[in-house]
Amino acid sequence: MQAILLMNLAVFLFTAMDSIIKHVSETYHYPTGELVFVRNLFAFLPLLSYMLLVERRLHLRTARPWGHVWRSLFGVSAMYFFFWSYKLLPLSEAIALGLSGPIFLTVLSVPLLGEKVGWRRWSAVIVGFVGVLIMTRPGSGVFDPAALVPLLASVFYALAMISIRRLADTEPPTTIVFCFTLFATVASLFTLPLGAADPSLMWHWPQFGPEIGLLVAIGIMGGIAQIALTTAFRRASVSVVAPFDYMALVYGFLLGFMLFDELPDEYLIIGGLVVVASGIYIIHRETTLARARRRQATPSLPVSQ
C-alpha cells in the first residue's frame, strides 16, 4: 500500500509539474532549454536532502562513467522533447502520447538488450501502436505534426530505461539519479547560445514573486517525485507499482480541463486507453517472464528424508 501511494504521489507531482511547465511556457515564454535547467537545478534540493538525511551518505563514486553519460544523454533528450510537447500540444494529448514509452521499450530491447519477445508482447506492441494511430489520426486531415514530438520523447525515454537496466546491475539508484540530474543541469546550459539565432529561445531572468516561485516549484516537485518513484519501486515489485504510472492519463485529463479548459475528444480517450491497456499487459508479461527466469536460475535443494 505504501508503494502504491508513493507511486501515485510521484505520478501526480510529475503531472502537476508538467502543467506548470506548460503554463510558464505559454504565459512567460520561457524556452525549453531554460526549463530543463531549472527543473534539474532545483531538484538538487530534495535529492541532496534525501541522500544526507535518509540514506545518510552521498554515494557518488562509479566505475561506469560512460554508462551514466549515455543514460543521461538519452534522459535529457527525452525531458527536452517532453517539455517542448507541453508547449505545442494540449496537456492531456501530450501526456497520452508520451505514455507509449513501454511500447518502444519492448521494440528496442530486442536489438539493444538481446531480449526475446514472444508473440504475446508483439501483439501488445501492435495494439499499442494502433492506439497511437487512433490518437494522432494520420491522413485524416487533422493530423498535427507536433504529435511527433512526444513520440520522439518516448523513444528517448525507452533508450534511457534500457541504459538504466544496464546500470542497475552495479549502480545504486540514487547515484544514477544524481548523475543524471547533474548532467541535465550542465547540458541544458548549451542551449544558451541558441537565443542569438532565435529570439524565442532567449533565456531571461524570472521576475521575483509568482514567476520565480513557479520555476523553483518545477524543480522541487520533480525532485520529490523522483524520490517517491524510486522508493515505490524499492518497496514493491514492478508488477504492483508500474501500472499506476498510467494514472498520469487521468491526472492529465483533469488538470488539462481545470487549468487550461482542455476537453479531450473521443479519439484521444479511446486511443489513450488502448495504449494504457497495451502498456499494462507488457509490464505484466515482462514481470511474469522475469519470475520464471528467477525460478529456473535458483538451484533446487535436495529434500531430506
Cell (9 digits) for 269: 480517450
The whole-number pLDDT of residue 61 equals: 82
Q: What is the pLDDT along the chain (305 residues), one digit of tens a residue?
A: 898 999 999 999 999 999 999 999 999 999 999 999 999 999 999 999 998 888 887 778 888 899 999 999 999 999 999 999 999 999 999 999 999 988 898 899 888 888 888 888 899 999 999 999 899 887 655 568 899 999 999 999 999 989 988 888 888 888 889 999 999 999 999 999 999 899 889 998 888 788 999 999 999 999 999 999 888 888 887 778 888 899 999 999 999 999 999 988 899 999 999 999 999 998 888 888 878 877 776 654 444 43
Q: What is the pLDDT of residues 44-86, one digit of tens each?
A: 999 999 988 888 877 788 888 999 999 999 999 999 999 999 9
Within the chain, what is the greatest distance between any pair of CA atoms? Answer: 81
In Å, how far from its chain's centre is CA 226?
A: 10
Find all residues with CB under 8 Å of 97, minimum gap 6, and list them: 85, 89, 132, 135, 136, 147, 150, 151, 154
Cell (9 digits) for 187: 547540458
- What's the whole-number average pLDDT of the chain? 89
SS3 262: coil
Helix, strand and coil percent figures for the chain, each rounded to 5: 80, 0, 20
